[in-house]
Amino acid sequence: MKVAIIVGTRPQIIKAGPLIRALSKSGDFEVEVVHTGQHYDYQLTKLMFEELSLPDPATNLNVGSGTHAQQTADAMVGIERFLEKSRPSAVIVPGDTNSALAGGLASTKLRIPFGHVEAGARSYDMSMPEEINRRLLDHCSGLLFAPTENCLGNLVKESVPGRPILTGDVMYDSYLEFQDKADSTNQLDLLNLEEQEYAVLTVHRAENVDRRDRLESILTAVRLAGLPVILPLHPRTRKAMAECGISPESVPNLRVIDPVGYIEMLCLLRHSALAITDSGGVQKDAFWSGVPCVTLRENTEWVETLQAGMNTLVGTDVQKILAAVQLWTAGNERPKPSALTHPFGDGHASERVAEALAQYTSGVPGDKQLQVALAKGPKA
Ligand code: UD1
């Protein structure tokens, strides 16, 4: 049975890794990767494919950057053309990007069953393009693979027409698989960093980087915090800083580096004192690493990290960022990862996706062991 996986951005490529392996290993599926080309810089795409030993995409649609409508529409047209030719039995769409939305809409309209991986994540903030994408995807997907119980609950509350299934988080599968390899890359020596004596900063969200005042607040807080901060710089942020004349070099304790691969990023996070970020994925990677996180947003879809006391929402207010950073770096003992709860599953989410997909496409109703929560009956 042929299954197409739609990717386009860095986090989707990371999520596709364990899915490709689980689907291929099950023996039931032939996997085709469709890359929309939303991300095209070497560090954001090709590097991930190489690091994670992923098969080359069956096609790259080269949609590139553009307005949301342009990017989504171009990806939809390309995906539709590909799916019409290839006719897979099912499509898998990880994440919440414009490429994900394009994949979900194109599949639904061609009546090819599609499964949404990371279903049910909600920030309840419709000013985020990803929140719009997530909601639309979850309301046209046949199978909804929920990473946490909270996500599953959101889907049930919304009475989505497809079938929600609690699988665990495929990114946690990936984290567990690569954590040892990450440590062996020895980023600390390469970058001359001391164990737990630096913070990792990532910032790329439009609402932060397209606003000069917010970018300045973040950098001011970093400067006042004083500890060494390492910033792998997303191309969007680099451009935004250049356009509004902000120089990260003016912050003496900030070290800007090119975007790093997934495995290098895990190494940097795992040995840091804390993460400062506006990314969804980094909040979870920090949580799994037992590293506290200061989130440069007013809300998060990953409420599990807040409930565990490992994440603080601070927005971009200088004093709030500073207070949270100081709280975590003032010698408080860090919670040990083993003492943390594991709301993101057991590292076998991708296998559950493969199993549920095999059942779904062969019309077999859900298996109790998969913790299937039926919103409505299975669809043929
Ligand atoms: C996208 C996703 C976001 C995800 C992020 C991970 C959407 C709506 N957003 O945001 O959910 O967290 O990817 O990185 O889908 N650019 C380059 N080179 C590239 C890609 C982008 O220079 O390879 C620059 C361009 O100026 C572009 C800008 O970054 O206009 C934004 O890229 P885009 O793909 O639209 O969104 P991201 O901010 O990367």
Domain boundaries, given as residue ranges, for the chain: 2-169+345-370, 177-339
pLDDT in tens, the chain (380 residues): 999 999 999 999 999 999 999 999 999 899 999 999 999 999 999 999 999 999 999 999 999 999 999 999 999 999 999 999 999 999 999 999 999 999 999 999 999 999 999 999 999 999 999 999 999 999 999 999 999 999 999 999 999 999 999 999 999 999 999 999 999 998 999 999 999 999 999 999 999 999 999 999 999 999 999 999 999 999 999 999 999 999 988 899 999 999 999 999 999 999 999 999 999 999 999 999 999 999 999 999 999 999 999 999 999 999 999 999 999 988 766 766 556 678 999 999 999 999 999 988 777 554 433 333 333 333 32
Nearest CA to ligand 1 atom 31: 236
How far apart CA 293 and CA 35 sit, in angstroms, is 31
Evaluate whether 208 touches 214 at the Cβ level (below 8 Å).
Answer: yes
- How confident is the model at residue 330, as a pLDDT? 84
Atom 35 of ligand 1, residue of closest alpha carbon? 65
What is residue 369's predicted lDDT score, i.e. its pLDDT?
Answer: 35
pLDDT of 258: 97
Q: Give CA angle at 314 (308, 315), nearest 5°.
A: 130
> Given strand 59-60, what is the order of strands in its sheet?
59-60, 30-35, 2-7, 90-94, 114-117, 143-146, 163-166
Q: Is 202 in the pocket of ligand 1 (CB under 6 A)?
A: no
Q: Ligand 1 centroid vs 208 CA: distance in angstroms?
A: 13
Question: For the purposes of burial, counting CB atoms within 10 Å of the CB of 242, is it exposed (0-12), middle (13-18) or buried (19 or more)?
Answer: exposed
CATH number at 2-169+345-370:
3.40.50.2000
Given a contact cutoff of 8 angstroms between Cβ atoms, the answer to whether 316 and 208 are in contact is: yes
Q: Active-site residue 204, yes or no?
A: yes
CA of 204 to the centre of ligand 1 (A): 8
Q: Are 296 and 276 in contact (CB under 8 A)?
A: yes
Residue 204: CB within 6 Å of ligand 1?
yes
Give the pLDDT score at 338. 56
Ligand 1 within 6 A of CB of 239? yes
Q: Is 235 in the pocket of ligand 1 (CB under 6 A)?
A: yes
Of ligand 1's atoms, which has the minimum distance to the CA of residue 205? 38
**What is the CATH topology of the domain spanning 177-339?**
Rossmann fold (3.40.50)
- Ligand 1 mean position, distance from CA 83 (Å): 24
* DSSP β-bridge partners for residue 31: 3
Q: Is the CB of 11 under 6 A from ligand 1?
A: yes
Under a CB-based contact definition with an 8 Å cutoff, are residues 118 and 97 in contact? no
User: What was the pLDDT predicted at 332?
Assistant: 66
Q: Is 40 exposed, middle or buried (0-12, 13-18, 19+ CB in 10 A)?
A: middle
pTM for this predicted structure: 0.94
Catalytic choice (204, 271, 342, 348): 204
CA-235 nearest atom, ligand 1: 22
Write the residue with the smallest CA distance to atom 18 of ligand 1.
41
Answer whether 236 contacts ligand 1 (Cβ < 6 A).
Answer: yes
pLDDT for 336? 63
- The letter for the amino acid at 215 is L
